[in-house]
Amino acid sequence: MADSSAFALHRPELLPALRRGEEKISRLFDRRLRRLAAGDTIVREEENHDYAYRLKRGWAGRVRTLPDGRSQIILVFLPGDLFAVKSMFVTRHPDVVRALSDCEIEQVDQRVLRDAFEQDSDVATRCTWQVIEEERRLHNSVVGLGRGAADERLAALFLEFRGRLVRAGVLDEKALSYELPMTQEQLGDLAGLSTVHVNRVLRAFRGNGLVVFRGRTVIINDFEALVRLAYPLFDTFEQSQPEFVAGHARVFS
């Protein structure tokens, strides 16, 4: 399974190398799946870590917790995502990676991956692209946190998750509901909002007929209205992809 972003914004001439690198990295993984429960730690902060991972099932997040207990979810990893590639380059991770739901992951020793990185340009291209893709998502997050209203941030998150799940092959392209294994508190930790503020926005979404967040299920009732709300926070890649905006690509700019 390829990364759920499907090589966003790649140069066309690099696609063969990216695909070859994907296949070669997949062959390096230990096929014994590691199973984790929601809340389990995959990578500990401020510790040396010897593995990179592929998420096969479930959701995980990179999280930083402040001394007073406040948390920020920095990135969310979905099925198919390659993560902790930085284990090849850093002596310790500054943040924790934690399972947000029950998960299955496969792993590769960072020394094995680094040897392949140094010897095979396809593997190097694929690993480098992964860092670039995480940077793209982080840029979107910075824009949302810095300039997005609360309803825009949550609308963008709901549509981003749906789009990535569709691109990963986990969700049908016409699906308007999906399981989102995050609490309102965790959504706030990702969107930079208090739990009270998240709850207020979700009640407004429900009242306006946009979205219902029932239990751990997101049900999108008015896709077009949600796209109109989220569109300013999407980057040019997401604005052009039907998985994120359906038939409304570039119509709101």
Cβ pair 78, 133 in contact under 8 A: no
As a residue count, the chain comes to 253
Based on the fold, state whether residues 179 and 123 are members of the same structural domain: no
Based on the fold, state whether residues 38 and 129 are members of the same structural domain: yes
For residue 52, what pLDDT is reported?
A: 97
Q: Sheet containing 96-99: give its strands across.
A: 41-43, 96-99, 60-65, 71-77
Residues 175-224 have pLDDT tens digits of 999 999 999 999 999 999 999 999 999 999 999 999 999 889 999 999 99
Based on the fold, state whether residues 25 and 137 are members of the same structural domain: yes
Based on the fold, state whether residues 200 and 103 are members of the same structural domain: no
Return the sign of the alpha-carbon dihedral for residues 226, 228, 233, 234.
positive
Based on the fold, state whether residues 183 and 133 are members of the same structural domain: no
In a domain, 2, yes or no: no
Based on the fold, state whether residues 38 and 107 are members of the same structural domain: yes
Residues 109-155 have pLDDT tens digits of 999 999 999 999 999 999 999 999 999 999 999 999 999 999 999 99
Based on the fold, state whether residues 136 and 41 are members of the same structural domain: yes
In a domain, 3, yes or no: no
Based on the fold, state whether residues 29 and 59 are members of the same structural domain: yes
Cβ pair 74, 64 in contact under 8 A: yes
CA–CA gap between residue 127 and residue 55 (Å, rounded): 15
Of 111, 141, 171, the residue that ends a domain is 141
Of 120, 141, 162, the residue that ends a domain is 141
Based on the fold, state whether residues 27 and 66 are members of the same structural domain: yes
Residues 32-90 have pLDDT tens digits of 899 999 999 999 999 999 999 999 999 999 999 999 999 999 999 999 999 999 999 99
DSSP state of 132: H
Based on the fold, state whether residues 39 and 102 are members of the same structural domain: yes
Based on the fold, state whether residues 47 and 168 are members of the same structural domain: no
CA–CA gap between residue 234 and residue 97 (Å, rounded): 25
Return the sign of the alpha-carbon dihedral for residues 218, 224, 228, 233.
positive
Range of the domain at 244: 149-248
Q: How many domains does the chain have?
A: 2
Query: Which DSSP string do the residues of 25-66 spell out, in sequence order?
Result: HHHHSEEEEEEE-TT-EEE-TTS---EEEEEEES-EEEEEE-
Residue 34 maps to which CATH number?
2.60.120.10
Cβ pair 191, 154 in contact under 8 A: yes
For residue 215, what pLDDT is reported?
A: 86
In a domain, 5, yes or no: no
Based on the fold, state whether residues 153 and 207 are members of the same structural domain: yes
Taking phi first (over 0 means left), then psi (-120 to 50 degrees means alpha), and beta for anything else, what does residue 184 get? alpha
